[in-house]
Amino acid sequence: MLISVDNVVEEMILAKDIYNTSGAILLKEGAHLKKSYIESLKEKGIKTIHIKEESFYDKNIQKVVKESTRKEALNIVQDTIERLPFSQDKNIKQITFIVEKIVDELLNGKNIFMNLLDIKAVDDYTFDHCVDVCVLSIILGKNLNYSRDELIELGKGAILHDVGKILVPQKILKKPDKLTYDEFEEMKNHTVYGYKILQNVPEMSESSIDIVLSHHERYDGKGYPNGLKGENISKYSRIVSVADVYNALTSERVYRKKGKNQEAIEYLTAMKESQFDSYIVDIFIEKIAMYSLNRNVVLNTGERGIVVDINRKFPSRPVVEVLYDESGQKLLRSYCVNLLEHNSIIIDDVVN
């Protein structure tokens, strides 16, 4: 069960290994959490962990991408992004390798559309964000029937879409307050910086590099750096744009706390045809962002439970197994409610 570290109490049992940003294990699965462990996790900036909970023992939670692959990707992305702008070595074979590995794990998964919210991270935002956006973009590309080669091309651009931020001053990147006009203009330059960095990388196709340049273009032509409009923005860039904004809205940032999944969905919906390609947004919401299996939810009745089935034609109305009553007491016997059959009941929040 994924919960906030703020809600962890002593003697809870860790259900999954906890890693640092270098991939080293901080705490192993099965550890009984002591007060000192909990405080250490908070000091290290770790926001969420998985704990064992008896009502979840029989839930077969499938990871979208293996944890080991995810950690490997984080290390490769960090090494590549930090090295590329300043090194004569423009080899990105590691990036190609890890994107191919992610693509193959997603293509071989029995049900890659579930548990997408479980790709949230506890590592440094910029690098973690790149991996998340890559995974989301590849899954969206698969739903658009892209070939393996196309998914790899899409994934390489997505995983490096923010490479130009390495040349933006840290005081701007990590500023907790609103950016000034000049600071925002410099932040926008990360798209051009990234494009220039990758122009001389032989393993990057023009289509992949264009993602780096154009992922902040808007469907209505009000984006940057070139003010491209509609179909003039490449489809790859339109895909990464949606994945990028969704992940940013649902992640912890230096200047704000992460938003609710439903709030992100509402934003994407409201910005169709202005910021985003509406067709891509519709596919993204239906197949990825709505509600995933085994996700903890709160109903407007105050009851809490987990999503146990998805109504494919109406993804906003899943089947929920209710585990706790409105006062927070665990039910002696859980029961399922199909939201498609109960119009007055809605999901009020997605929670850890």
Angle between helices 93-108 and 148-159 (to 10 degrees): 130
d(C-alpha 46, C-alpha 137), whole Å: 25
- pLDDT (tens digit per residue) in 157-181: 999 999 998 899 888 888 878 899 9
d(C-alpha 203, C-alpha 153), whole Å: 10
List residues bridging with 296 in a β-sheet: 306
Q: By the 8 A CB rule, do 212 and 163 touch? A: yes
- pLDDT (tens digit per residue) in 278-301: 999 988 987 776 766 777 888 989
Q: Which domains does the chain have, with CATH numbers?
A: 2-52 (3.90.105.10), 67-289 (1.10.3210.10), 296-350 (no CATH)
d(C-alpha 116, C-alpha 56), whole Å: 18
d(C-alpha 339, C-alpha 297), whole Å: 12
Burial 241-262 (b: 16+ CB within 10 A, else e): bbbbbbbbbbbbeeeeebbebb
pLDDT, averaged per 10 consecutive residues of the chain (352 residues), comes to 73 82 78 86 80 49 69 86 78 90 80 43 62 92 94 95 90 86 95 92 92 97 96 97 92 66 83 94 81 81 89 77 91 92 84 66
Angle between helices 206-214 and 235-249 (to 10 degrees): 40
Structure tokens at 149: 């080669």
pTM confidence score: 0.71
